[in-house]
Structures are given as C-alpha cells and as structure tokens.
Amino acid sequence: MSKQQKAKETQGYQAKPVMPFCINCQHFTSKVEQVKSAWSVGTYTRESEVRCGIGGFAIKKQGTCNSFTAKIDQ
C-alpha cells in the first residue's frame, strides 16, 4: 500500500461522498409529472409533494435530520 493510499484510508477520504441531504435519503418522497407546455409544443417535468416518508411533512431537498439513511442504488 502506498503512502498516499494509507493516508487516505487513515483520514477516511471519500472521492464521491453521499451528502446527508433529504434528496439522498431513502425516506425522500415526491410526485413527478409530465406537464404539457402552454407556450411550446413539448412537455416539462414538474416535481411536487416533496415530503419525508417517515413524518409525512414537507421538506427542502437540501435539508437533513437525525433519521437520514442513504439511498441504496440498484
């Protein structure tokens, strides 16, 4: 193991950390819908009902709480 690798391991370095924001939590829920644009031919995506799955209250995507659990990508 190189000196750099050993130093990274000692410090707990993460190249791509999962930040403890609500958007990265497995309890994050929202409703996403395609909406027809009134001013052009296409559609756009609108996200609403951004909520915590545990308490059911409205949240900010970059909020956080003590119940944060990282999403497991599949």
Contact present, 26 and 72 (Cβ < 8 Å): yes
The whole-number pLDDT of residue 40 equals 84
DSSP string, 14-74: -SS-----GGGBTTEEEEEEEEE-SSSSSEEEEEEEEEETTT--B--TT---TT--B----
pLDDT band at residue 9, thresholds of 50, 70 and 90? very high
- Please check the confidence at residue 73 and state whether its pLDDT lies above 60: yes
Nearest to 70 by CA among 11, 34, 20: 20
Ordered by start, the domain boundaries in the chain are 17-67
- Please check the confidence at residue 14 and state whether its pLDDT lies above 60: yes
Residue-wise pLDDT for 35-71, tens only, equals 998 888 899 999 999 999 999 999 999 999 999 999 9
The whole-number pLDDT of residue 37 equals 87
